[in-house]
Amino acid sequence: MKNETTVTIGIPAYNEEQNIDNLLQSLLLQKHADFAIQEILVVSDCSNDNTDKIVQKFSRKYPFIKLIQGKNRKGKYFRVNQIFKSCKSDVLIVLDADIALVGKNFIQKLTHTLITDPKAQLVSAHNILLQPKDLIGKVIHANFVLWDFVRQSIPYYDHAANFYGSATAYRGTFARSMTIPDTLSDPHLYIYLSAKKLNGFRYCREAEVLQWPLSTLEDLDKFLNRTIGKKDKMLEKMFDVKIEDVYYFPRRYKFLGLLKALLRYPFYTPLALLLSFSIAKRKLPQKKTNSPIWDITLSSKKPITYAK
């Protein structure tokens, strides 16, 4: 790469009025060392709240912040494909709109691996879930934290579950080569496997983002009914894998993750295990959808401010 790496930041967004202002403000505060941000591109998936108006306000003051307005809802990964095609930079960073960047060197940390490791194609940031205040929210949060400890126990973080997807850096050439097929039920895994095929997946523990977890049982149901992690014969054929093998965790890492979770949340972790057991045993919804347009989980869409 050049001495000064060029960076495009893409943000797929649907009804993100509560946090998009905070995220754009934090991007403007990022320190630049050996990179330059060419543009910040917000791709709105036909938002019907004030998301577009907020982005337009920024665009008038900062011309490198641009808005693409979708006329119909197409889903997150349709918009990610648009971002892939629009990128002309050395590095593309794709951010969910409902996160907060930790520190003013977040972009620097996330891009560093791509700058220093020629084989790296995809770099996942480290996701930290904030703890809700209500009991159900804390139990659900503990459940996610438990699995975070499991996935982070894998050596070198080399596992599909560590491609969290909320903040990701792509080598520009890799991003431009990508077109996620709209017939796949798990486009998220398609991205990971495409990078893994090139031995190009990396995890950046130092680049951290904050995010609210789901905090209601209704939203948890919506999340579990999404297509990520579900069997996809076309995807299995494309990469000659089995979905259950890709997401498999050896027992020792599950045990290690459980111990860490119990030490962190000794009261809520047992309740989280009971919740997981009840979810596994209860009758699943009759209707399964392969739609790329997910039901929105409102409890995770809350403003986050962070400065350090």
pLDDT tens, position by position, for the chain (308 residues)?
456 899 999 999 999 999 999 999 999 999 988 899 999 999 999 999 999 999 999 999 999 999 999 999 999 999 999 999 999 999 999 999 999 999 999 999 999 999 999 999 999 999 999 999 999 999 999 999 999 999 999 999 999 999 999 999 999 999 999 999 988 888 999 999 999 999 999 999 999 999 999 999 999 888 887 756 677 899 999 999 999 999 999 999 999 999 999 999 999 999 999 998 887 776 454 445 566 677 788 899 999 986 55
Parallel, antiparallel or unpaired: strands 91-95 and 99-101: unpaired
H/E stretch holding 171 reads strand 167-171
Cα–Cα distance for residue pair 61/68, rounded to 1 Å: 17
Q: Which two tokens stand for residue 136?
A: 């159900």
DSSP string over 91-140 = EEEEE-TTEEE-STTHHHHHHHHHHH-TT--EEEEEEEEPPPSSHHHHHH
Alpha-carbon Rg for the chain in angstroms: 19
Parallel, antiparallel or unpaired: strands 35-44 and 122-129: unpaired
Cα–Cα distance for residue pair 105/47, rounded to 1 Å: 30
Topology of domain 5-300, CATH: Spore Coat Polysaccharide Biosynthesis Protein SpsA; Chain A (3.90.550)
Q: Enter the pTM of the model.
A: 0.94
Instruction: List the Cα angle 224/228/230 in 5-degree steps.
Output: 85
Q: Which residues face 68 on adjacent strands?
A: 43
